[in-house]
Chain A
């Protein structure tokens, strides 16, 4: 096992709070949600495992209360309800290939299906996603959602792409420092509140008001 402090990117002797903070930050970074459509998700999982081990070790060592935010393996996506009975076997097979990352085999099976409903476009979207054809993937997933608006599995797939984009954007904003610390408005509010409280108690915080 690597030095657990090194894994978490902290100095030796960091407080329990510090460890927790570093851990949370890392879990957020390597969370399976971030890598849902990334073919390197297995590596992210490994990394997360290492982080979890390091954290467990340090927490045990610190003999503090048990940690709460451990990461649990995500359950497999549920199967859709609306299905065409005749092609069911083919769809199942295609799904297995998609999950394995064998896009060529999955595509070959999809091409054999003549009736093209929501699930067909959904699976095709997943195949495109795996390949990195994001534009085509989004088009397919949108078609799937339009065809079966009540299917949450299709919707989730589309949302996960949009979420990843939002996550990237918000990381940029955070790094630029737009969200760090209270803004001017919040500061003013706090000061006025402080002033009111002080005045209630007979003191004063801002003389002129």
Chain B
């Protein structure tokens, strides 16, 4: 999960935008407080969504404070404070980042991930200690991902399963109330978002994976044989889109079953945000860069 789940900012109301920013900054500060300043570089939008969704499901009333920030010490901004949802998302963000770094080292080595992993080690230990189950969930998802890729899995759905399942469990375990249907709903939202993220990331990464010879489920499933990558992408885009939209349709259908605060922002992300992203990635066949804009990190880094 690394930055695909974003609002469509033009369509937000100003007050919704400000509140979203508040959650974003709140998550950043929470990470800094619990895991050290450097961990804040790992902040990503997907975790903000996770925090916001959980805060909204629990009906948390956001405590807003105006504070300054290292990134912009002069301007004071609204920041959401004391939100258990955001703190949970901060833990998850750190755990996932740590596993991703570990994976980068296994893949490519190099001094940068090794150094970053050292930086994150303490934070990881802390987060893993308070969230033992979640640490276990992520670890087992990573190991099944590795074995799937080793055997060269040629079904995108099968390849997406570990990540989607992990997201399902992460979201479901973020709920602490006593409505029995809520974890089920959150779980299914997580599964479908996980599936969407995994596939869209695979589509987005095809060129790079061809160059580096890395595993990519779409290249396997649709049997890429050194033809022109643009033609190849164009030929599979329609079929990939059916699966992506179905995942989003199921996720939003499930979202409608939840009793939520901040419905405006969350619906904006789930409808305009995710649909817009799908269109952009699938239509960006000619682009050299990922999504035509470089603002995502690879997630399938995890597990290979």
Interface set of A (CB-CB < 8 Å, partner B): 29-30, 34-35, 37-40, 43-44, 47, 128, 132-136, 138, 161-162, 164-165, 167-169, 171-172, 175-176
Q: Tell whether, in the assembled complex, residue A134 and residue B185 are in contact, meaning their CB atoms are under 8 Å apart.
A: no
Contacts of B97 on A, CB cut-off 8 Å? none
CB distance from B267 to the nearest CB of A (A): 7
Beyond A128-B157, A132-B164, 16 additional contacts (C-beta under 8 Å) are A29-B256, A37-B250, A43-B184, A43-B257, A44-B253, A132-B192, A134-B195, A134-B247, A135-B240, A136-B157, A138-B242, A138-B243, A161-B242, A165-B245, A165-B249, A175-B267
Known: A34-B253, A132-B195, A171-B252. A176 touches B242 (CB 8 A): no
Closest residue on chain B to residue A175 by CB atoms: B271
Q: Is B16 an interface residue (CB 8 A)?
A: no
Cα A39 to Cα B188 with chains together (Å): 8
Closest residue on chain A to residue B241 by CB atoms: A165
Known: A134-B247, A175-B267. A38 touches B254 (CB 8 A): yes
Q: Tell whether, in the assembled complex, residue B247 and residue A172 are in contact, meaning their CB atoms are under 8 Å apart.
A: no
Q: Tell whether, in the assembled complex, residue B272 and residue A176 are in contact, meaning their CB atoms are under 8 Å apart.
A: yes
Complex A-B, nearest 5 residue pairs according to Cβ-Cβ distance, in ascending order: A133-B157, A165-B245, A168-B249, A135-B243, A134-B246
CB distance from A101 to the nearest CB of B (A): 12
Contacts of A165 on B, CB cut-off 8 Å? 242, 245-246, 249
Q: Tell whether, in the assembled complex, residue A136 and residue B242 are in contact, meaning their CB atoms are under 8 Å apart.
A: no
CB distance from B60 to the nearest CB of A (A): 20
Partner of B253 from the list A35, A162, A176 (CB cut-off 8 Å) is A35
B150-187 residues with Cβ-Cβ distance < 8 A to A are: 155-158, 161, 164, 181, 184-185
B234-277 interface mask toward A, CB cutoff 8 Å, 1 = contact, 0 = none?
00000110110111111011101100000000011001100100
Contacts of A40 on B, CB cut-off 8 Å? 184-185, 188, 253-254, 257
Q: Is B191 an interface residue (CB 8 A)?
A: yes
Q: Is B297 an interface residue (CB 8 A)?
A: no
Q: Is B11 an interface residue (CB 8 A)?
A: yes
Partner of A132 from the list B221, B250, B253, B267 (CB cut-off 8 Å) is B250
CB distance from A22 to the nearest CB of B (A): 15
Contacts of B221 on A, CB cut-off 8 Å? 135
Q: 26 A–B contact pairs at CB < 8 A?
A: A29-B256, A38-B253, A39-B188, A40-B188, A40-B253, A44-B257, A47-B257, A132-B164, A132-B191, A132-B192, A133-B161, A134-B246, A134-B247, A135-B156, A135-B221, A135-B242, A136-B155, A138-B243, A161-B246, A165-B245, A168-B271, A168-B275, A169-B275, A172-B271, A175-B268, A175-B271
B contacts with A: majority SS: helix
CB distance from B110 to the nearest CB of A (A): 34
Chain B interface residue count: which class?
35 or more
CB distance from A6 to the nearest CB of B (A): 10
Contacts of B268 on A, CB cut-off 8 Å? 175
CB distance from B249 to the nearest CB of A (A): 4
Partner of A175 from the list B11, B164, B249 (CB cut-off 8 Å) is B11
Closest residue on chain B to residue A47 by CB atoms: B257
CB distance from A30 to the nearest CB of B (A): 7
Contacts of A47 on B, CB cut-off 8 Å? 257
Cα A134 to Cα B160 with chains together (Å): 11
Closest residue on chain B to residue A171 by CB atoms: B271
Contacts of A44 on B, CB cut-off 8 Å? 253, 257
Contacts of A169 on B, CB cut-off 8 Å? 245, 275
Contacts of A37 on B, CB cut-off 8 Å? 246, 250
